[in-house]
Amino acid sequence: MPPELHQKLTQWRRHLHAHPELGLHEKATSAFVQEKLTELGIPFEAGIGGHGVVATLARGAAQGRVGLRADMDALPITEDTGLPYASTTSGVMHACGHDGHTASLLGAAALLVADTSWSGTVDFIFQPAEEGLGGARAMVGAGLFDRFPMTRVFGFHNWPGLAAGTIAVHDGVVMASGGRVSITIDGHAGHAGMPHLTRDPVMAAGHLIVALQSVVSRSIDPLDTAVLSLCTLEGGTARNQIAGRVTIGGTLRYHRDAVKDVILARIEEICAGIATTFGVKVTPEIVMGVGVVVNTPAEAGLARLAAERVQTEVRRDLAPSMAGEDFAFYLKQCPGAFAWIGNGELRDGAELHGPRYDFNDAILPVASTWMAEVAKVALKSN
Handedness of CA 134, 139, 143, 149 (dihedral sign): negative
* Domains and their CATH numbers in the chain: 3-172+295-381 (3.40.630.10), 176-288 (3.30.70.360)
pLDDT of residue 382: 80
Residue 301 φ/ψ, nearest 5 degrees: -65, -40
Cα separation of 82 and 68, whole Å? 32
Smallest CA-to-CA distance from 9 within 43, 28, 30, 32 is with 32
User: Which 8-state DSSP code applies to residue 235?
Assistant: E
Residue 61's SS3 state is: coil
d(CA 200, CA 247): 13
Spell out the per-residue pLDDT of the chain, length 382, in tens. Answer: 999 999 999 999 999 999 999 999 999 999 999 999 999 999 999 999 999 999 999 999 889 999 999 999 999 999 999 999 999 999 999 999 999 999 999 999 999 999 999 999 999 999 999 998 999 999 999 999 999 999 999 999 999 999 999 999 999 999 999 899 999 999 999 999 999 999 999 999 999 999 999 999 999 999 999 999 999 999 999 999 999 999 999 999 999 989 999 999 999 999 999 999 999 999 999 998 889 999 999 999 999 999 999 999 999 999 999 999 999 999 999 999 999 999 999 988 899 999 999 999 999 999 999 999 999 999 999 8
User: Is-contact 166 207, C-beta < 8 A?
Assistant: no
Amino acid at 64: G
H or E element, residue 13: helix 3-18
234: nearest Cα among 278, 269, 182, 199 = 182
- At 71, which helix (H) or strand (E)? strand 65-71
On whether the CB atoms of residues 9 and 103 are closer than 8 A, the answer is yes
Indicate the Cα dihedral angle 210, 284, 293, 68, nearest 10°.
-130
pTM of the model: 0.92
Contact 91, 147 (CB under 8 A): no
Alpha helices in 317-363 (DSSP H): 328-333
> What is the predicted pLDDT for the residue at 178?
87
Could you tell me which residues are beta bridge partners of residue 168? 315, 340
CB 9 within 8 A of CB 368: yes
Judge contact between 255 and 173, C-beta under 8 A.
Answer: yes
Beta bridge pairs of residue 138: none
Pairing status of strand 293-294 against strand 173-186: antiparallel
Interhelix angle 3-18/364-381, rounded to 10 degrees, is 110
Asked if 50 and 138 count as a contact pair (C-beta separation under 8 A), the reply is: yes
